[in-house]
Amino acid sequence: MARNTLSRSLHDLGLSAWFGGTLANAVALNAAAAEAGGNTGAVANAGWNRWTPVNAAAIGAHLVGSVGQLTAHKDRVAQQQGVAGMSTLKTALTIAALGVTAYSRGLGKIVDSGGNTSAKSGTKPSKRTRSDVAAAQEQLDRLQWVIPALTGALVVVSSYAGEQQRPGEVARGIAAR
């Protein structure tokens, strides 16, 4: 097998940043914004707005790396039992994570458009929060955990994919076809 260090690195680094950044922001930034007092909404918005271009680059790197990995292993996908199923699952998880990420960003823009809106935390509206912003925050409160769950599942499936590349696994998988 040829080495695919660049595409594997793009895949793994992009995915790790996508997973880690969204998890860190959900765990720390949104909660820490509540400690900022009256500027809760502004603090959370500033943090998420700073993360957005980094996250976009991470997602782009992951997608480029994923295409590179799929291209490099197209023969294994076709010939080794289990690899096509794993690739289909990774694709489905990636599409779901992309969809939730894009939808969450749209909700984030609604929250950001509210300006220095009063809020209990980055995703918890107060009684004084504008209704459109409050609705977006309530949806974000649930979705902030979905992205790390989906990207975490991608990490697990990617680990399984790596195990499928062991010589014994390749030999068994091709023989089983």
- The region of weakest confidence among 36-45, 66-75, 130-139, 143-152 is 36-45
What average pLDDT score do residues 92-114 get? 94
Percent of the chain with pLDDT over 70: 92
| Cα–Cα distance, 139 to 154 (Å, whole number) | 23
Joined tokens for residue 175: 């023989």
Q: Where are the domains of the chain?
A: 5-176
> 77 or 17, which is more confident?
17
What tokens appear for 173 in the block? 């998988």
* pTM for this model (two decimals): 0.87
**Average pLDDT for residues 73-92, to the nearest whole number?**
91
Q: How many CB atoms lie within 10 A of CB 139?
A: 17
Instruction: Give me the pLDDT at residue 160, please.
Output: 87
Q: Determine phi and psi for 73, rounding to 5 degrees.
A: -115, 20
**CA separation for the pair 15, 37 (Å, rounded):** 33
Distance CA 170, CA 176 (A): 10
